[in-house]
């Protein structure tokens, strides 16, 4: 049966291979069978300081990359989170149902706030806004990478809490996390996830990196001692990470890759991986540039937001009535 699917990516930098493998590839897959909502979560991005010009550029870039990767705006709604004001409104309501202790336990908050002198309150309440993003459409499925699992659990708890207090209304959503590629690691440190806000560009492959930059970054990626191309995340995290990337972009299984490179050293494997990535990303980049220069983005985002608002506004009316807010005309 067709389900409602929702997800979002922050316009907080240039999208990486981690975003593509962990999230966007699944968006494209799910849209064939389900009713999908794919947002650019600009309200989440401002939980850390964003330069206005960069936010504008990154917002358009994420939306264009969604389309370039194969999201079809005729069957999926593609839009900016800030164009649907009900997200912020339900976000506030859910914040009032969220306990401080629940937010204090969130590992993304701990990671992003650690070592900072001053931390914005928005970063702290970020998960309640994310819950609102999902619940406002009564989404059934949320495709995300592994790092978002904890936020999804809180979303499920908040849906249950609302339903318990105000009567059954929200759908309790399920995460949809890929088996391979749910956590692509940084190229310079396999102990950290690949992240677009890492200050070292050598730590990630950006989807818009030119072919030579991609080849160079892969050839410089750190590799474990030893020289066998075997998948063993506990003992060989770096080569295992590169193998996951290879598998996700070539369609080969991890075993097929291990067999193909048996008895060979890392050099040939890395060289071929660079070529696999270039072959995956070049067509996507071409479509991206066509979309950016076509001027079609604005209309697509307007249409997507209109569809999203019509669903979200009905939810808000019902939620507020159940909670005892006076209606207005």
Name the site residues for ligand LTN (rule: CB under 6 A): 6-8, 10, 41, 44, 130, 133-134, 142, 144, 148, 151
149 in catalytic set: no
19 is in an annotated binding site: yes
Per the residue annotation, which of 196, 217, 236, 270 is the catalytic one? 196
Whichever of 28 and 276 has its CB closer to ligand LTN, that residue is: 28
Nearest residue to 176 via CA among 33, 72, 64: 33
Q: Are 239 and 223 in contact (CB under 8 A)?
A: yes
By CB under 6 A, residue 10 contacts ligand ATP: yes
> What CA–CA distance (Å, rounded) separates 179 from 143?
12
List the one residue from 135, 158, 184, 257 that touches ligand ATP (CB under 6 A).
184
List the one residue from 156, 183, 215, 217 that touches ligand ATP (CB under 6 A).
183
Whichever of 195 and 240 has its CB closer to ligand ATP, that residue is: 195
> What CA–CA distance (Å, rounded) separates 61 from 49?
18
Phi, psi at 211, each rounded to 5°: -50, -45
Q: Are 89 and 312 in contact (CB under 8 A)?
A: no
270 in catalytic set: no
184 is in an annotated binding site: yes
Whichever of 18 and 173 has its CB closer to ligand ATP, that residue is: 18
4 in catalytic set: no
Q: Are 66 and 26 in contact (CB under 8 A)?
A: no
Q: Are 17 and 207 in contact (CB under 8 A)?
A: yes
194 is in an annotated binding site: yes
List the one residue from 25, 151, 193, 236 that touches ligand ATP (CB under 6 A).
193
Whichever of 71 and 134 has its CB closer to ligand LTN, that residue is: 134
**Residues 126-155 contacting ligand ATP, CB under 6 A:** 144-145, 147-148
Which one of ligand LTN, ligand ATP, none is in contact with 134 (Cβ closer than 5 to 8 A by kind)? Answer: ligand LTN
CA 104 to each of CA 101, 130, 159: distance values in angstroms, whole numbers, following the listed order: 5, 16, 19
If phi > 0 it is left, if psi is from -120 to 50 it is alpha, else beta; for residue 79 that is beta
List the one residue from 4, 5, 22, 35 that touches ligand ATP (CB under 6 A).
22
Nearest approach, Cβ of residue 275 and ligand LTN (Å) = 29
> What CA–CA distance (Å, rounded) separates 325 from 19?
39
CA 250 to each of CA 161, 195, 281: distance values in angstroms, whole numbers, following the listed order: 43, 22, 12
Based on its alpha-carbon atoms, the radius of gyration of the chain, rounded to whole angstroms, reads: 21
Per the residue annotation, which of 4, 25, 112, 270 is the catalytic one? 112
Per CB under 6 A, residues contacting ligand ATP are 9-10, 12-13, 16, 18-19, 21-23, 144-145, 147-148, 182-184, 193-197
Q: Indicate the annotated binding residues for ATP.
A: 10-12, 18-19, 145-147, 184, 193-197
């Amino acid at each position: 049966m067709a389900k409602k699917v929702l997800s979002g990516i922050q316009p907080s930098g240039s999208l990486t291979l981690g975003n593509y493998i962990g999230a966007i590839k699944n968006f494209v897959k799910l849209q064939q069978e389900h009713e999908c909502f794919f947002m650019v979560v600009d309200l989440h991005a401002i939980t850390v300081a964003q330069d206005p010009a960069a936010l504008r550029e990154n917002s358009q870039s994420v939306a264009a990359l969604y389309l370039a990767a194969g999201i079809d705006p005729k069957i999926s709604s593609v839009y900016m989170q800030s164009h649907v004001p009900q997200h912020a409104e339900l976000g506030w309501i859910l914040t009032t149902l969220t306990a401080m202790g629940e937010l204090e336990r969130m590992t993304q908050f701990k990671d992003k706030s650690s070592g900072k002198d001053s931390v914005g309150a928005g970063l702290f309440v970020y998960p309640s806004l994310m819950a609102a993003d999902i619940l406002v459409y009564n989404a059934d499925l949320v495709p995300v990478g592994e790092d978002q699992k904890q936020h999804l659990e809180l979303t499920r708890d908040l849906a249950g809490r609302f339903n318990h207090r105000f009567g059954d209304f929200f759908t309790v959503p399920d995460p949809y996390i890929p088996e391979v590629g749910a956590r692509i690691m940084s190229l310079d440190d396999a102990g950290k996830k690949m992240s677009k806000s890492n200050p070292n560009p050598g730590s990630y492959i950006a989807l818009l990196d030119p072919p030579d930059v991609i080849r160079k970054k892969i050839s410089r990626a750190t590799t474990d001692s030893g020289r066998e191309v075997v998948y063993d995340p506990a003992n060989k995290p770096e080569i295992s990470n590169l193998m996951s990337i290879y598998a996700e972009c070539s369609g080969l299984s991890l075993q097929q890759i291990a067999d193909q490179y048996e008895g060979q050293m890392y050099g040939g494997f890395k060289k071929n991986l660079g070529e696999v990535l270039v072959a995956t990303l070049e067509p996507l980049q071409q479509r991206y540039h066509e979309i950016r220069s076509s001027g079609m983005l604005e209309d697509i985002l307007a249409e997507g937001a209109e569809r999203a608002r019509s669903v979200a506004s009905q939810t808000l009316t019902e939620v507020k009535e159940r909670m005892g807010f006076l209606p207005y005309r």
